[in-house]
Amino acid sequence: MGISYHSYIGTTVDQLPQLPCSANGHLSLSTPVGSCVDKFGRIWLADTAHNRVLVFDSDLDQILASFGSVGAELGQFNMPFRLIAHPDKNWVYVTDIGNFRVHILEYTERLDIQSIKVFGNEPEVELKGPNGIVVHDGKVCVADEFYEGPNSQSRLVIFSEDGKFEQSIEEIVPENGSDPVHLLWPQGLSLDKNGNIYIANTGFATVVRCDWQGKGVPFSASGKCYIDGLALSRGVSVTQNRMLIPGGEPNAISVYDLNGQFMGSLDGFFAPVQVTETSEANTMLITEPFLASLQKHTVNLSTLKGGKSRATKVIKRVGDERDNPGQLHFVTSVVGDVTNTQSGYSSNAPIFEHWVEHQLALQDQLLKVMQPPGLPSWLSIALSAQTEWVQRWQQTMVRIFLNDKFDDPEDLLWMMDSGNYQLQATEDGKSDSARPISLPMLPGSLGMASLTPKKPLPGQLDPEVPLLVVSNYLSGIVTVLQYNDTLGEMVPYTVFGGLGTGEEQLNKPQGIAIDPTNNDILIADSGNNRICRWRLSEAGGPFLVHTFGRLGSEHGEFHTPSDITVDAQGTCFITDQNNNRIEVYDQTGKWQRSFGQEGYGTTNGNFLLPTSIDHENGYLFISDLVNRAIKVFTCSGEFIESFSGFGADRDKGQLWLPYLLHVKNSKVYLPDCALNRVNVYQFNI
C-alpha cells in the first residue's frame, strides 16, 4: 500500500529569447515573490515557481539576465523566495525556501552572476523554511517560517554577512516585562533607519518590531511591540518613513507610521506580497504573485492620512498573460478522470488557430503599450481583467467557429483554470494537453463537483455529459453548467446562492460535494462557517434543504470549513480548516465524531490548515496545507499512508499551495494554484 507521484498537467512556458530582450511579450512569470534593487539600479525578481532569478533594467523595459534552474546544486534553486541586496558589496541574498538554505549571488556591472556560497542548511542550523531576509551592519537575519520550536513557534536566525551562524531568536521579549511574543509562520522582513527588524508574523496576522537580540521595540501609539487587527500580514516594508503591510486589509496595502498609527491604505490590488523601495522618489516595486506580475508604482505616502484609502499610480508592469495553449493560471479544482491514452481534442484548422492565438498575443502587447503610465492602481487592475475577459470571449468564438471540441466530452478531466476565467479539460493527461471547454467564467470561480441526474432534467442539452456545479468565492453564486454539443462548450444551466449571511446566501464558498444517495449538493460555506445542502428538483430548479454549523471550536461548530466529501451511506466528512481537524456528520447534519489535531507532521494525524478532502474505496484523502502532505486515512480516522514534499520541482510532485483535491480510480488529482499545475498521484492498495 502506498501513494506515489505519477505526472503533472500544465504547460511550462519559461523559455526566453537571447538576452537582453524586451520584457513585453517574452515573459511568462509563475508566482513571482521577492524583488530587490542592486547597486547599479537594476531590478532583480524571484520568479519563484520557475526556479530562477531574473534581472531587469531600472525601467522594467528589458530582461537583462536569467540565473538558476531547478535543483539542489550550487546555482540551482527550489523556490527562490525573497531577495535583498547587500548595501555595500555586489551581492544579492536569495532565500531558497524549498532547499532550506540561502544563496549569496555575486554579480558584476556586466551582470556576470555566480553563486559564491549557500548557508543555513548546516546541521547546527537546519533552516526549515527560509523566507524573509534583511542585512544590516555586517549581519543577516532570516525568517525561518516552518521551524518548530518547543511551543510550535517559528524563529529568526542571525548570521554574519558571509553566512556564519550566530544565534536563533525564538521569542520576542517586550521591554516592559510582559509575556514574550511568539512567531508563527513569519514571512517578509524589513528594516528602519535605526536597524530595527519588522516581521510579518503571518500566522498571527501581526507585524512585530524588535532589535537584533530579539528585544521588542514598542510602538508609541500602543505601547506594544506589535501591530495587530490585520486581515493578513504577507509582508512588511519600511518605505518613505512609513510601514507598508501587504494584505493588512483585503485587496490592499495597509499603511502605518513608525509610531504604529494607522494612516490609511493603498487599494486597487489583488494579493500583493512584497513592496520594495527604489532609488526614484516616491516609487516602489510591488509583486502580485497570483497575477503573475511585477509592477512599478508611484505614490507620496506622506499625503495619506486620517485612515483614508487611495490608489497608487502604475508606471509599469511586467508579466504576460498565462494563456498559452495548455498553460494554467491559478488552477483550483478538478473533477472527472483521465482514461484515454490518446488526445481526443479535434482542431479542424490548427494553422489558423495558431495564427489567431498569435494575433491575440500581439493584441495583448499592444493594449499594454497603449495603457498610459500613471493610471490609478484600481483602474489598471480593472482594465487588465477586462482585457483578459474580452480575450477569453474572442478565443471562445474562434473555437465555436472552427468547431474545435473534444471527441468524447463525457469522459474528461475538468480543471478550474480560475486565473484565466475558464474551464480547461484533458482526455490523455499529458502535461501540455489542457484545452479550454467553457464560456468565460466569473472571476472567483473556485470549487467544482460533477452531478449526473438520475434522469435527464428539463432543458438539459446532453444528458451523457455530467453537469458541473461551480462555486464562486467572490460573489457567493453557485453555477450549474451543462455541455452544449453544438458549441462544444460548457454553458450555464441554472444558478443559485448569492453573497451574504442569509439562509439561502453564501459567503466565500469553497469545496463542493454530491451526496451519492440522493444527488444533493453540499457546499462548504466557509465565510459563514457552515455547510449548506441544496437540491435540484425534478423540474431542474435549485432549492435549499438545510444548513448546519456555526462559528466555534466545539463539536458541531466550524472555523472556516473548506471542503467536504460524502460516502455511499451519506456520511459527510469536512475539513474544519482553522480548527485543524476533520468533522464527521450524518446525512441530517448531526455531528458524529471528529479526528485529527493541530501540529506538524507528515506521517501522523496532525493537521495544519487541512484544506481539502475526498474519498474512495473506504479511504479518505486529505490535503494538509502547511505540512504539504496528502494524507490517507480510513473512514474511522486511522492514519494509513502519506505523500509529502515542499517545493517547485515538477519531476518530484512537490507542493506549494495545493487546493481542492479529487480522487478517481485510485488516482489523486491535486491542483496547486501557486505552481500552476495539477499533480497526479497513484494510490495502490
pLDDT bin (cut points 50, 70, 90) of residue 386 is low
Q: Which residues of 63-85 are buried (b: 16+ CB within 10 A; e: fewer)?
A: bbbbbbebebeeebbbbbbbbbb
Other beta carbons within 10 angstroms of residue 257's beta carbon come to 18
Q: Classify residue 115: in a domain, yes or no.
A: yes
Q: What is the pLDDT of residue 376?
A: 67
481 bridge partner residues: 468, 492
CB of 130 closer than 8 Å to CB of 81:
yes
**Confidence at residue 382, expressed as pLDDT on a 0 to 100 scale:** 59
Note the pLDDT tens digit of each residue in 410-443: 889 999 999 999 999 999 999 999 999 988 888 8
Q: Is 576 exposed, middle or buried (0-12, 13-18, 19+ CB in 10 A)?
A: buried
Q: Would you say the C-alpha torsion 212, 218, 219, 222 has a positive or negative sign?
A: positive
Q: What is the distance of C-alpha 436 from the center of its chain?
A: 21
Half-sphere exposure of 580 (CA within 13 A, CB side): 12
- Is residue 112 domain-resident? yes
Three-class DSSP category at 308? strand
Within a domain: 207: no
The CA–CA distances, whole Å, from 615 to 531, 573, 620, 626, 667 equal 18, 9, 4, 21, 11
How many other C-beta atoms can be found within 10 angstroms of the C-beta atom of residue 453? 14
Total domains in the chain come to 1
The whole-angstrom separation of Cα 583 and Cα 427 is 34
Residue with cell 512609513: 242
pLDDT confidence bin for 354, thresholds 50/70/90: low
pLDDT digits (tens, 9 = 90+) for 554-579: 999 999 999 999 999 999 999 999 99
At residue 367, does pLDDT exceed 50? no
Nearest Cα neighbor of 48 from 19, 75, 78 is 78
In a domain, 634, yes or no: no
279 belongs to a structural domain = no
State the pLDDT at residue 369.
Answer: 46
Residue 406 has pLDDT above 90, yes or no: no
What's the confidence (pLDDT) of residue 444? 92
Bridging pattern class, strands 629-634 and 639-644:
antiparallel
Compute the 3-state secondary structure of the chain and give helix, strand, coil in percent, each to the nearest 5: 10, 45, 45
For residue 361, pLDDT beyond 60:
no
> How much is the average pLDDT of 484-493?
90
- Asked whether the predicted pLDDT for residue 639 surpasses 50, the reply is yes
Evaluate whether 595 touches 589 at the Cβ level (below 8 Å): no
Identify the residue whose cell numbers are 467557429. Answer: 401
Report how far residue 62's alpha carbon sits from residue 101's, in angstroms, rounded to the nearest whole number. 29
Residue-level pLDDT at 487: 86
Q: Mean pLDDT, the chain, as a whole number?
A: 92
Q: Which amino acid is at 3?
A: I
In angstroms, how far is the first alpha carbon of the chain from the final one? 4
Pairing of strands 262-267, 308-311: parallel
Which pLDDT value is given to residue 160?
A: 98
Mean pLDDT of 371-397: 63
The pLDDT score that the predictor gives to residue 377 is 65
Q: Which residue has the higher pLDDT, 95 or 485?
A: 95
pLDDT mean over 531-554: 97
pLDDT tens-place string over residues 621-638 = 999 999 999 999 999 999
Given a cut of 70, is residue 401 above it in pLDDT?
no
E-strand stretches of 268-421: 274-277, 283-288, 293-298, 308-311, 313-318, 331-336, 345-346, 375-376, 405-406, 413-417
Residues 198-226 pLDDT 10s: 999 999 999 999 999 999 999 999 999 99
User: Is residue 614 pLDDT above 50, yes or no?
Assistant: yes
**pLDDT average, residue stretch 85-112:** 98
Q: What is the rounded CA–CA span in Å between residue 512 and residue 514? A: 7
Percentage of the chain beyond pLDDT 90 is 85
Assess whether pLDDT exceeds 60 at residue 43.
Answer: yes
Q: What is the pLDDT of residues 136-154, one digit of tens each?
A: 999 999 999 999 999 889 9
What pLDDT, on the 0 to 100 scale, is given for residue 301?
96
The stretch 463-476 carries a mean pLDDT of 95
> Domain with 80 in it: what CATH number?
2.40.10.500
Q: Is the pLDDT of residue 392 over 70?
A: no
| Angle separating helix axes 377-402 and 350-370, nearest 10 degrees | 160
Helices (H), 375-534: 377-402
CB 51 within 8 A of CB 674: no
What digits encode the pLDDT tens for the residues 237-264?
Answer: 999 999 999 999 999 999 999 999 999 9
pLDDT at 93 over 90: yes
The answer, yes or no, to whether residue 378 has pLDDT greater than 80, is no
The reported pLDDT for the residue numbered 439 is: 85
Q: Which residues pair with 607 in a beta bridge?
A: 598
**Domain extent for 40:** 29-119
Model confidence at 346, pLDDT cuts 50, 70, 90, reads: very low
DSSP string of 54-108, one letter each residue: EEE-TTS-EEEEEE--BSSSTT-BSSEEEEEE-SSSSEEEEEEGGGTEEEEEEE-
Please check whether residue 42 lies inside any domain of the structure: yes
The pLDDT value recorded for residue 352 is 46
**Contact indicator for 665, 682 with CB cutoff of 8 Å:** no
How far apart (Å, rounded) are the C-alpha atoms in residues 391 and 29? 19
Select the more confidently predicted residue: 66 or 344: 66
Backbone angles phi, psi at 441, to 5 degrees: -95, 160
CB 11 within 8 A of CB 327: yes
pLDDT tens across 46-84, in order?
999 999 999 999 999 999 999 999 999 999 999 999 999
Q: What is the pLDDT of residue 359?
A: 47
Q: In percent, how much of the chain has pLDDT > 70?
A: 91
What's the burial of 266, exposed, middle or buried (CB within 10 Å: 0-12/13-18/19+)?
A: buried
What letters, b where the CB count within 10 A reaches 16 and e where it falls short, cover 12-50? Answer: bbbeeeeebeebbebbbbbbbbbbbbbeeebbbbbbbbb
d(C-alpha 243, C-alpha 233), whole Å: 12
Confidence (pLDDT) at 402? 58
**Can you spell out the DSSP letters for 159-215?**
EETTS-EEEEE-SBB-TT--PPBPPSSEEEEEE-TT--EEEEEGGGTEEEEE-TTSB
Q: Among 8-17, 185-194, 357-366, which stretch is predicted with the lowest mean pLDDT? A: 357-366
